[in-house]
Amino acid sequence: MTGKHLFDYFGLPYDASIEDVKKRYRVLVKKYHPDRNKSKNANVKFQELHKIYEELLTVIKNRQSVLPNQIDDSPEEQWKKYRERARSIRLEKQRKQAEAMNLWYDQLQSGKILKYTRFVTLCSAILLMLLTFDIFLPTRYVKDSIVRYSTKIYHTIDEHRISKIETANGENLWLDRYNNGFFSYNPFVQIEKTRILHSPISIHKYDEQFKKTIPIELTVYWAQIMIFIALLIPVFFYFYRVRDIFLIMGSYFTRYFVGPFIVWFLFSNDRWIHLFTFGFL
């Protein structure tokens, strides 16, 4: 039985109070109490009356917990109020998210985080300039010999065929598309390297009948485009002033990828010595 029908059963209006229900219940109890009413269904009617009385009290208590005048609003007005509440909740959520993001931005652009980010950016800019000079400066040639080579062929991501060699100076190099068996009868070569970083570019093999130039894969010179892009990202985000997700990504990329990469880059193959001496050592 719905709430309106419950009130109809008691003969009360829908806006009746708890006191009105209690008064009406006392009247109906006297009328339908089995001790006073001798009809056959008096007992059933009395139990039903008590059940409806309990339900009515519950309905009125629930109604009192609803916002004022809500029960008198039309469906359109109730929908309008619902949308206003939903909008206010959404705006409040957005405001809190914006405050959290601003706090995050402030942390990224202040204190130790900012100092470390600027230091990595400065190192990236210096390294970029040195790498640029290293590309355009004249190359150098170092005499060496092949002491060990592999006849096994590997494939790079771009489907280049490469094989590994080891030189007398202790360098392990990957050669592009060459049969290393030719080194068995003439192991002496010249390795072309960049001026500053001494990064291997190619191997020059001289025979009586021909001169062979073999490109070297998987080196700094070979991956210079990817290295340039990685080092340019901190410089770009140093001038990036929009507070969005890209600024956060740039900060994390600078601190957790570019920083460790620069350390690895400088201290592998003695590059830090080559850089500080501009390639003389």
| Residue 172 domain-assigned (yes or no) | yes
Alpha-carbon gap, residue 231 to 254, rounded angstroms: 9
pLDDT of residue 58: 83
Residue 209 per-residue DSSP state: S
Q: Where does a domain end: 162, 197, 219?
A: 219
pLDDT of residue 233: 92
Q: Measuring CA to CA, how many Å separate 93 from each of 12, 87, 98, 245?
A: 44, 10, 9, 18
Q: Where does a domain end: 31, 65, 99?
A: 65
Alpha-carbon gap, residue 10 to 24, rounded angstroms: 7
Give the number of other CB atoms < 10 A from CB of residue 24. Answer: 18
The CATH number assigned to the domain holding 15 equals: 1.10.287.110
**Residues 209/186, Cβ–Cβ less than 8 Å:** no
Q: Where does a domain end: 174, 201, 219?
A: 219
C-alpha gyration radius of the chain:
43
Our count of domains for the chain comes to: 2
What is the tens place of the pLDDT at every residue in 63-111? 666 545 444 556 677 777 778 888 888 888 888 888 888 887 888 878 8
pLDDT of residue 270: 81
Per-residue model confidence as pLDDT tens for the chain (281 residues): 555 567 777 888 877 888 888 888 888 887 877 777 777 777 778 788 888 888 888 887 776 665 454 445 566 777 777 788 888 888 888 888 888 888 878 888 788 888 999 999 999 999 999 888 888 889 889 888 888 877 777 777 767 778 888 888 888 888 876 666 667 777 888 888 888 888 888 888 776 666 788 888 877 767 788 889 999 999 998 888 788 888 888 888 999 999 999 998 888 878 888 888 877 77
Cα 186 to chain center, whole Å? 54
What is the tens place of the pLDDT at every residue in 223-250? 788 889 999 999 998 888 788 888 888 8
pLDDT of residue 3: 53
Alpha-carbon gap, residue 92 to 58, rounded angstroms: 34
pLDDT of residue 67: 45
25 closest CA partner among 55, 64, 66, 70: 55
Alpha-carbon gap, residue 120 to 12, rounded angstroms: 80
| Residue 16 domain-assigned (yes or no) | yes
197 closest CA partner among 121, 130, 136, 148: 130
Tokens of 73: 């609003």
pLDDT of residue 123: 92
| Residue 83 domain-assigned (yes or no) | no
| Residue 50 domain-assigned (yes or no) | yes
Say whether 168 sits in a helix, a strand or coil. Answer: coil
Cα dihedral 17/21/27/28 (nearest 10)? 150
| Residue 275 domain-assigned (yes or no) | no
**Residues 250/240, Cβ–Cβ less than 8 Å:** yes
Q: Look up the pTM and report it.
A: 0.57
Q: Which residues contact 110 (CB under 8 A, 6 or more apart)?
A: none
| Residue 75 domain-assigned (yes or no) | no
Alpha-carbon gap, residue 147 to 238, rounded angstroms: 47
Domain housing 142: 135-219
Q: What is the mean pLDDT of the chain?
A: 81
